[in-house]
């Protein structure tokens, strides 16, 4: 089945979100897709659609595809290593030496081939992805993701200070020129599934001149922006030293016009955002990419996601490989719940732990909103869909559909993914 089949139906146990508060469940129901868009979910197939091709997935679960709002493709090669370090030491010891290898296109082809293949097998259908400063390697990554059929935003990273000489770009001007050349190459390739996103790594690695030049590029192109925000206490203090005129970390982006408003922006982590930063993110419509496993692994802390949800911020999930050890966003959901419980118990008992419906919403509709009408089975949404087969996970008791989904959050990996659709196209 694909978008080329103008109208088709899928049958199974359908689960999706309209709001963060509860799951929408249609047992043994029908989902109708027309030209890649959801037409509706029905307990019985309407007469209007009599005769359309229907794929019956039996007792399996049909859920929206998951959106990963923050993942570093070049770090996939060393996931699971260096987890006893904090952020800034980890960057110097693991990240920068590894990313430097991507100047060698042969190495990049091996590493990115593995990343793209495994992401294709996962439950992720949309992703915001950091590459490296290397233009050719970034283009190769985009080529592989285009072939994989996933809908992704990929960024050539910008860095012109506070990183090793072997990785730093020569100047703000040369970094901006490389970015322009990269965008010209992207345009010439006429990608369908993959698009560019501007990627200043974070404020400490980008001079004011570079940020100004990136804003000029953003104004010319209308591209979205991704970066890091308030991940670690040391990083926040560093930003204050580098940008003493800024009111807070997010303000250091905002004064260059790269923090929401008319620029679609996603900021990873936001572990230690204060009331001023939260208010600015809300006012500017900035998306938060919550990366719970990475924040625990790198001793950054636990973001106050309950506050963000209550304030009405846009919140999605990120794997943040290799700060996070896996691209499996089911585990990101589980980690989000677990981390919120630790925060509630150990730091602030006024913020109730996250629930399954809330984390499911963040992984689907919440994060999917960064890509448009994505992450739900409401009418008009792109049909991104995962078919889950939990037959391997045997159990003696009768389980409800919601209980079966909860077990998937804690127990599923690529073995449970029976089929995958992106924008109405069946990948497998």
- Whether residue 307 sits in one domain with residue 228: yes
pLDDT exceeding 70 applies to what percent of the chain? 99
Per-residue confidence at 167, pLDDT binned at 50, 70, 90? Answer: very high
> Residue 131 half-sphere exposure, CB side, CA atoms within 13 Å?
31
State the average pLDDT over residues 332-337: 98
Q: Is the pLDDT of residue 2 over 70?
A: no
The answer to the question of residue 338 being in a domain is yes
Give tens-digit pLDDT for 221-260.
Answer: 999 999 999 999 999 999 999 999 999 999 999 999 999 9
pLDDT, position 4: 55
Q: With 0-12 CB in 10 A as exposed, 13-18 as middle and 19+ as buried, what is 161?
A: middle
pLDDT, position 47: 97
Q: How far apart are CA 187 and CA 298, in angstroms?
A: 37
The answer to the question of residue 34 being in a domain is yes
pLDDT, position 239: 98
Longest pairwise C-alpha distance within the chain: 66
- Whether residue 155 sits in one domain with residue 26: no
Q: Output the domain CATH number for residue 48.
A: 2.30.40.10
- Whether residue 247 sits in one domain with residue 99: yes
Q: How far apart are CA 338 and CA 353, in angstroms?
A: 8
Sorted by sequence, the CB contacts under 8 Å of residue 304 that are 6+ apart come out as 273, 343, 348, 351
The answer to the question of residue 79 being in a domain is yes
Count up the domains in the chain and report the number: 2
- Whether residue 231 sits in one domain with residue 108: yes
Per-residue confidence at 5, pLDDT binned at 50, 70, 90? Answer: low
Sorted by sequence, the CB contacts under 8 Å of residue 4 that are 6+ apart come out as none
Q: Output the domain CATH number for residue 169.
A: 3.20.20.140
- Whether residue 413 sits in one domain with residue 269: no
- Whether residue 330 sits in one domain with residue 416: no
- Whether residue 326 sits in one domain with residue 183: yes
The answer to the question of residue 308 being in a domain is yes
pLDDT, position 3: 52
Per-residue confidence at 1, pLDDT binned at 50, 70, 90? Answer: low
The answer to the question of residue 2 being in a domain is no
The answer to the question of residue 156 being in a domain is yes
- Whether residue 392 sits in one domain with residue 257: no
Range of the structural domain that residue 31 is part of = 7-64+377-426
- Whether residue 345 sits in one domain with residue 333: yes
The answer to the question of residue 317 being in a domain is yes
Helix/strand/coil for 152: strand
- Whether residue 220 sits in one domain with residue 110: yes
Give me the sign of the Cα torsion angle 100, 102, 104, 107: positive
pLDDT, position 88: 87
The answer to the question of residue 413 being in a domain is yes
pLDDT, position 82: 87
Examine the fold and report which residue of 355, 371, 387 is the final residue of a domain before the chain moves on.
Answer: 371
- Whether residue 263 sits in one domain with residue 149: yes
Q: Is the pLDDT of residue 388 over 80?
A: yes
DSSP state of 50: T
- Whether residue 311 sits in one domain with residue 387: no
Q: How far apart are CA 70 and CA 409, in angstroms?
A: 19
3-state helix, strand, coil in the chain (%, to 5): 40, 25, 35
DSSP per residue, 215-246: HHHHHHH---EEEEES--HHHHHHHHHH-TT-
Task: Tell me what the pLDDT averaged over the chain comes to.
Answer: 97
State the average pLDDT over residues 379-405: 97
State the average pLDDT over residues 156-185: 98
State the average pLDDT over residues 132-159: 98
Examine the fold and report which residue of 333, 350, 371 is the final residue of a domain before the chain moves on.
Answer: 371
pTM equals 0.97
Type and span of the H or E element at 66: strand 66-72
């Amino acid at each position: 089945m694909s978008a080329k089949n103008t109208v088709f139906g899928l049958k199974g146990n359908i689960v999706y979100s309209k709001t963060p508060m509860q799951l929408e469940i249609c047992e043994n129901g029908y989902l109708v897709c027309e030209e890649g868009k959801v037409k509706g979910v029905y307990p019985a197939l309407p007469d209007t659609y009599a005769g359309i091709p229907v794929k019956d997935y039996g007792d399996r679960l049909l859920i929206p595809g998951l959106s990963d709002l923050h993942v570093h493709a070049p770090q996939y090669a060393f996931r699971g290593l260096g987890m006893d370090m904090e952020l800034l030491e980890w960057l110097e010891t693991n990240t920068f030496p590894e990313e430097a290898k991507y100047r060698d296109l042969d190495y990049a082809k091996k590493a990115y081939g593995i990343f793209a293949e495994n992401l294709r097998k996962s439950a992720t259908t949309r992703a915001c992805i950091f590459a490296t400063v290397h233009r050719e390697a970034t283009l190769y990554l985009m080529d592989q993701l285009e072939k994989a059929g996933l809908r992704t935003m990929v960024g050539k990273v910008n860095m012109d200070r506070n990183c090793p000489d072997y990785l730093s770009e020569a100047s703000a001007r040369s970094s901006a020129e490389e970015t322009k050349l990269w965008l010209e190459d992207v345009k010439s390739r006429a990608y369908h599934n993959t698009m560019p996103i501007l990627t200043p790594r974070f404020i400490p690695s980008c001079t004011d001149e570079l940020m100004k030049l990136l804003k000029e590029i953003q104004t010319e192109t209308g591209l979205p922006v991704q970066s890091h925000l308030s991940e670690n206490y040391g990083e926040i203090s560093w930003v204050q030293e580098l940008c003493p005129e800024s009111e807070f970390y997010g303000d250091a982006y905002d004064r260059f016009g790269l923090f929401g408003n008319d620029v679609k922006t996603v900021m990873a982590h936001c572990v230690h955002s204060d009331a001023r930063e939260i208010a600015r993110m809300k006012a500017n419509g900035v998306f938060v990419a919550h990366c719970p496993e990475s924040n625990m692994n790198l001793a950054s802390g636990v973001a106050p996601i309950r506050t963000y949800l209550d304030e009405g911020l846009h919140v999605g999930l990120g794997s943040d490989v290799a700060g996070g050890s896996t691209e499996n966003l089911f585990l990101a959901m589980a980690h989000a719940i677990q981390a919120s419980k630790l925060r509630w118990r150990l730091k602030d008992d006024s913020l109730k732990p996250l629930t399954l419906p809330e984390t499911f919403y963040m992984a689907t509709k919440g994060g999917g909103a960064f890509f448009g009408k994505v992450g739900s089975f409401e009418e008009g949404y792109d049909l991104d869909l995962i078919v889950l087969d939990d037959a391997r996970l045997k159990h003696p008791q009768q389980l409800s559909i919601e209980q079966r989904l909860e077990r998937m959050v804690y127990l599923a990996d690529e073995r449970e993914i029976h089929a995958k659709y992106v924008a109405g196209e069946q990948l497998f």
